[in-house]
A and B are shown apart, each in its own frame.
Chain A
């Protein structure tokens, strides 16, 4: 395997864009990434794109749809859906193509528009025998934040996490998001505001759950030789793992309704994420202590606390301490979600894994402006998706 370099990145601002199609967002962002890498669209040898489930048939073949809008070039196009981990998954495939020397220039793209409110089910065949589990869970009435709320309740019981500590996650990330011109919510929230926001799924308030947004992100990967030839700043994609869940994991996964009990668990909570982080560290030959910052999937404030432990940044029950001591804030020892995270962007499921990689690239180039992590040389991104998909990346200068 040869070294792979992030040669160019593109990011669409995130928010709600009722007058602009996701195809246009994806096309603009892809061309922005190509331009950033100093390559023409016709020089791109392969495209990997998130399959966008909310976009119907053409959404499931989003890569072909976006390529047709820009101009078809006959290159292989892969469309991948690994739920919210799709962005990391397309990057993993693109990374493999360059690492294996199959291609020199590959683009990974995600463009997504999400329905408002709770992310709903996608229609299934009416005559399929039995009832698919995603239908059962909606009949029963369990939205995504309900799953996260069940885990947060356990955490409060186990570690005594207070409502104020939980609210502090949003406060911290909103301070970062306030510094990011691409974020949907660019203002600081207070603890009082978070606690006064409507309860959605007890104990999670509205402001402790990420919104659903429209967004797009694209990353161009090349070999080091190609990047050097073009005189580009070198940011290396030192690791890009992709994992799935393990038997014996007690996590009740969206959209399932059961799991091994906590008492009988033989694998860690969020086993796919624990594994992905561990594999990324092994691949890069680095450890948690080497990271200058991390972009993790703060789909809810519970996720941020849990992931600090799952990824190996602290012992179980210590995440609240890192938060309240300011370690995870910009200026602290391990800034978490310097971009502002999903709490400031909202989730655009297909694109959010790539959003993290774009931010990490800017941080390592030193071009992150007022949210720059001082002296950042090594960064990590990690994204997880429904039904136990996970991808983790380590970027180095």
Chain B
């Protein structure tokens, strides 16, 4: 098997908003806020799901460009930040 580095940017293929806190090992925000999940299609021919950095549903349009960023998912019991990939709109950055 070979590793492939993906382009940072892809297109929004689909999205949902999770309205209830998922069970452990998920660590929900306190107080819980509904959060967005995006499915992003990359030029390398793969689509990947991940949380969105923010959800303003009125801004979302399938096909819009999103960028991959690394952000904190939550801080664990030892005070360590657990990092993961998230997607943010390119406009958000600019």
Could you tell me which A residues sit within 8 Å of B by CB distance?
117-118, 120-121, 135-136, 138-143, 146, 149-151, 153-154, 157, 198-204, 250, 252, 257-264
Contacts and interface: CB of A to CB of B under 8 A. Distances in A.
Nearest to B85: A140
Main secondary structure of the interface of A (DSSP, over half): mixed
- Of B23, B42, B45, most buried by chain A (CB within 10 Å of CB) is B23
A167 B73 CA distance: 33
Interface in B1-48: 13-20, 22-28, 35, 37, 39, 41-42, 45-48
A121 B23 CA distance: 8
A257 B22 contact: no
Given A142-B18, A200-B20, A261-B47, A150 B26 contact: no
Contacts of A202: 15-17, 19, 57
Nearest to B51: A140
Contacts of A259: 46-47
Nearest first, the 4 A-B pairs at minimum CB distance are A264-B45, A149-B16, A120-B23, A202-B17
B16 A150 contact: yes
Given A121-B25, A260-B47, A151 B14 contact: yes
A200 B22 CA distance: 11
B47 A135 contact: no
Interface size class of B (residues with CB under 8 A): 20 to 34
Interface of B: 13-20, 22-28, 35, 37, 39, 41-42, 45-51, 57, 62, 73-74, 82, 84
Contacts of B17: 199, 201-202
B16 A201 contact: yes
Contact of B25 (A135, A150, A151, A203): A135
Given A120-B23, A157-B62, A252-B39, A141 B18 contact: yes
Contacts of B19: 198-202
13 contacts: A138-B23, A140-B50, A143-B22, A146-B37, A199-B17, A201-B16, A202-B15, A202-B19, A252-B39, A259-B46, A259-B47, A261-B41, A261-B42
